[in-house]
């Protein structure tokens, strides 16, 4: 259980919507905590060992009940942490309130905040002069290396858990501006297997169903991109009875999708067939003017990639004679032809915009990776070179082991004879 003292007028600094939402937030944070047994065990150890003592930490994340459990674990571990929202639509205002009121963690996040506010929050995070940045899409790091070179000496490192952020960090490193270590949480097996595949898979469909209440069975669902997120979305869409079409640019992923039983084709062929489109590429404008014009009347577009640039909405708006909100998170763009295209969640991450983001049990492992990634940065300070580093395998395996334990599932262990066999090359013949 999360400890709590109600402080109606907290002296914790913040920029949030409504402090009075704290009780609801607290209840929901605790509910999520039930499904996060791995992070709970990490937090319990952190409470003993205080591995983050003396560390200033800035976290830029979706401000959800799961993130709250991470933030609490970091604080319990000794960190002086501030939290800003990585996405204007995903902030849960009650959670922000509870973190400020019940946990004394400074939070700067309001659901629906505009771009200017977001930028102000990024700068508040950097004003905190962090030693460690937990980033989500690499915006804080990008601002740091562009505008705050003077703070580079403060930095121990960063952790990053999105594909988008990893792509950007790689580009920064290539350009010579990433001068500190970055822990690639995204590629931890216990992160991308579960978060990207099972988490995104379920929550993307959840977002689409909450936004529209349509039946997925019998629909043609076009999944754009067959990375881990795309695999998850495609698998679950089929699991709900949809007929799934995959589009890709990578031939290996494309043939994998074929072998998994999906239809694969270029987007120009898929555009007129799809009833629902889900973009999960990490790239921009993967659905664009040439595709809008050939779509069915009533085709629905949803994005589950990190940024809201996968669908070229600006152009869609230009092409349209009207835009009408027909349900929450559901806007109808009317084209001159009379056909309409339905955009869900304004093209932002649909699972966060229209649903509640990933289920807690998924974020459990991702955020255990984040917390342990921070600890690793500190322990390896001075040892880790600038650039991207994977989560150590032992950490990854330990997280999986804790998760299995919490589910009451045992596995086998190698016998001594088997260990010897695996290390030998002479006994086969």
Residues 335-364 within binding reach of a second copy (CB under 8 A): 355-356, 358-362
Query: With contacts defined by CB under 8 A, how many residues of the chain interact with a second copy?
Result: 109
Q: Does 428 engage in binding with a second copy (CB under 8 A)?
A: yes
Residues from 50 through 89 that contact a second copy (CB under 8 A): none
> Rounded CA gap, 358 and 352, in Å?
8
Q: Does 394 engage in binding with a second copy (CB under 8 A)?
A: no
Q: Any binding-site annotation on 64?
A: yes
Q: Any binding-site annotation on 248?
A: yes
Q: Does 149 engage in binding with a second copy (CB under 8 A)?
A: no
Neighbour tally for 337: CB within 10 Å: 10
Q: How many Å is the Cα radius of gyration of the chain?
A: 22
CB contact set of 172 (below 8 Å; sequence gap of 6+):
138, 141, 142, 145, 178
Among 7, 123, 260, 319, binds a second copy (CB under 8 A): 260
Among 198, 228, 333, 376, binds a second copy (CB under 8 A): 198
- What long-range pairs does 312-320 form, CB within 8 A, spacing at least 24? 312/284, 312/285, 312/287, 312/288, 313/343, 313/346, 313/347, 315/288, 315/289, 316/289, 316/292, 316/341, 316/343, 319/289, 319/292, 319/293
**Smaller CB separation from a second copy, 5 or 422:** 422
Q: Candidates 47-55, 239-247, 368-376, 384-392 — which segment interacts with a second copy by CB under 8 A?
A: 239-247
Q: Does 255 engage in binding with a second copy (CB under 8 A)?
A: yes
Q: Does 285 engage in binding with a second copy (CB under 8 A)?
A: yes
> Rounded CA gap, 39 and 207, in Å?
25
Q: Does 128 engage in binding with a second copy (CB under 8 A)?
A: no
Q: Any binding-site annotation on 347?
A: no
φ and ψ at residue 132, rounded to 5 degrees? -130, 140
The CA angle 126-150-163, to the nearest 5 degrees, is: 50
Q: Does 258 engage in binding with a second copy (CB under 8 A)?
A: yes
Helix/strand number for the chain, H first, E second: 18, 16
Neighbour tally for 56: CB within 10 Å: 17
Q: Minimal distance in Å, beta carbon 264 to a second copy?
A: 5
Q: Does 144 engage in binding with a second copy (CB under 8 A)?
A: no
Residues paired with 181 in a beta bridge: 387
Q: Any binding-site annotation on 306?
A: yes
Q: Any binding-site annotation on 268?
A: no
Residues from 203 through 232 that contact a second copy (CB under 8 A): 206, 209-210, 213-218
Q: Minimal distance in Å, beta carbon 216 to a second copy?
A: 6
Binding residues: 64, 136, 161-164, 191, 195-196, 225-230, 248, 283, 304-306, 351
Residues placed in the known binding site for NAD(+): 162-164, 196, 225-230, 248, 283, 304-306, 351
């Amino acid at each position: 259980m999360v400890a709590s003292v109600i402080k109606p007028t907290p002296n914790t600094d913040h920029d949030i919507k409504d402090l009075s939402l704290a009780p609801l937030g607290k209840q929901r944070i605790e509910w999520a905590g039930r499904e996060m047994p791995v992070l709970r065990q990490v937090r319990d150890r952190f409470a003993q060992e205080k591995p983050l003592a003396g560390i200033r930490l800035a976290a830029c994340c979706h401000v959800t009940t799961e993130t709250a459990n991470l933030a609490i674990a970091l604080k319990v571990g000794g960190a002086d942490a501030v939290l800003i929202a990585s996405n204007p639509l995903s902030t849960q205002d009650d959670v922000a309130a509870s973190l400020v009121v019940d946990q004394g963690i400074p939070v700067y996040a309001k659901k629906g905040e505009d771009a200017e506010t977001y930028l102000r929050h990024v700068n508040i995070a950097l004003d905190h002069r962090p030693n460690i940045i937990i980033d989500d899409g690499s915006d804080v790091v990008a601002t740091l290396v562009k505008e705050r070179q003077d703070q580079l000496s403060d930095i121990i490192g960063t952790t990053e858990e999105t594909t988008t952020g990893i792509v950007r960090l790689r580009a920064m490193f290539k350009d010579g501006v990433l001068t500190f270590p970055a822990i690639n949480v995204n590629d931890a097996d216990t992160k991308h297997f579960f978060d990207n595949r099972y988490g995104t898979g379920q929550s993307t469909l959840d977002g689409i169903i909450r936004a529209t209440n349509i039946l997925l069975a019998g629909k043609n669902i076009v999944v754009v991109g067959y990375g881990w997120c795309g695999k998850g979305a495609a698998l679950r869409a089929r699991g709900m009875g949809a007929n799934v079409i995959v589009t890709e640019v990578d031939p290996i992923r494309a043939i994998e999708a074929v072998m998994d039983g999906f239809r694969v084709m270029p987007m120009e062929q898929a555009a007129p067939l799809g009833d629902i489109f889900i973009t999960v590429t990490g790239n921009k404008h993967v659905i664009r003017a040439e595709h809008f014009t050939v779509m069915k009347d009533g085709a629905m577009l949803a994005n589950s990639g990190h940024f809201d640039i996968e669908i070229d909405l600006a152009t869609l708006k230009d092409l349209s004679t009207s835009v009408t909100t027909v349900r929450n998170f559901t806007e109808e763009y009317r084209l001159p032809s009379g056909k309409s295209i339905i955009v869900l969640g304004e093209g932002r991450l649909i699972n966060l915009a229209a649903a509640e983001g990933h289920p807690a049990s998924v974020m459990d492992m991702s955020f255990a990776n984040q917390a342990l990634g921070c600890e690793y940065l500190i322990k390896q300070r001075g040892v880790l070179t600038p650039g991207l580093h994977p989560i150590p395998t032992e950490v990854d395996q330990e997280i999986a082991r804790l998760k299995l334990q919490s589910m009451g599932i045992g596995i086998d262990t190698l016998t001594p004879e088997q260990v010897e066999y695996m290390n030998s090359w002479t006994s086969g013949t």
